[in-house]
Structure 1
Amino acid sequence: MRFRPQYVLTALLALTLAACGSGPVKRVSEPAAGIQQLTVAGDGSWEIQLRLRNYSSMPMRFDTLALQMKVGDEVAGALDAAPGLSIGPESADVVTVRLQPSSPARIVMADALAGGRSLFYELDGTVAATPEERKQRSFDVTARNSLNQAPGLPGVLR
């Protein structure tokens, strides 16, 4: 039997084309949310910059979010928004939400600001997001972290 290079080349070309046909794997992962910055306004309301993270390998549109926020051990209030924001694969973006915090949460905030201490916060709730070319899904989101005062910016925590 004689060696025929054209058969080997044809087989290699067929295998290469078969490997290219599958494309990248599209995976949907649970998104995450966290506070990037919190600013206390003069009227006592809070302006919260929420960082939404898309860990999926495809773009997702963040349709709505409904998160309960706690500072220290006190319930601050509900962060409800409909950002309608598209975030690329494995990327993040920021949406601003205003909150009229509860009185106990305001006291916790004032104490942290006056004492120059970190502020522990929790977010718990759901984010509705639509992966590219798929149906909207609701994801449970929980975050626990702390914010520190931004140097030179009174009433701003990051």
Structure 2
Amino acid sequence: MADKPSVLFVCVHNAGRSQMAAAWLTHLAGDRVEVRSAGSDPGDRVNPAAVEAMAEVGIDISREMPKILTVDAVRASDVCITMGCGDTCPVFPGKRYLDWQLEDPAGQGVEAVRPIRDEIRVLVEGLIAEIAPGGHGGAPAAG
């Protein structure tokens, strides 16, 4: 891994889980990690329930837009994380691939999205401890 590890979150529509994961990683790791998210069939907007759920914890993803998954995005990332949605990334030697089994927030209200948001935070905190321990940047964990 380079001095600054790079993580790519992938979900089919890049509208819910991958957007929340990218936002958590950016929020918690600050400038210690390069963060990307993408989808194989991006939606036309980020899931409003995901936007609302993240706003409740002080993270604004309302201006994010779903992006198409490209080979270049995978190639430029050290860790590629799919979100339990059956999506696959192009495989390159030397990359680390993870699949986080997460419920799909599509079509669900904010009440159903909150536990998904919180589960993603726990996974992201574990990832940070592995790839970018210590250092400065990011916000302290809320108690």
When the two structures are superposed, what TM-score results if normalisation uses the length of structure 2?
0.30
Higher strand content, 1 or 2: 1
Rg: which structure is higher?
1
Higher helix content, 1 or 2: 2
When the two structures are superposed, what TM-score results if normalisation uses the length of structure 1?
0.28
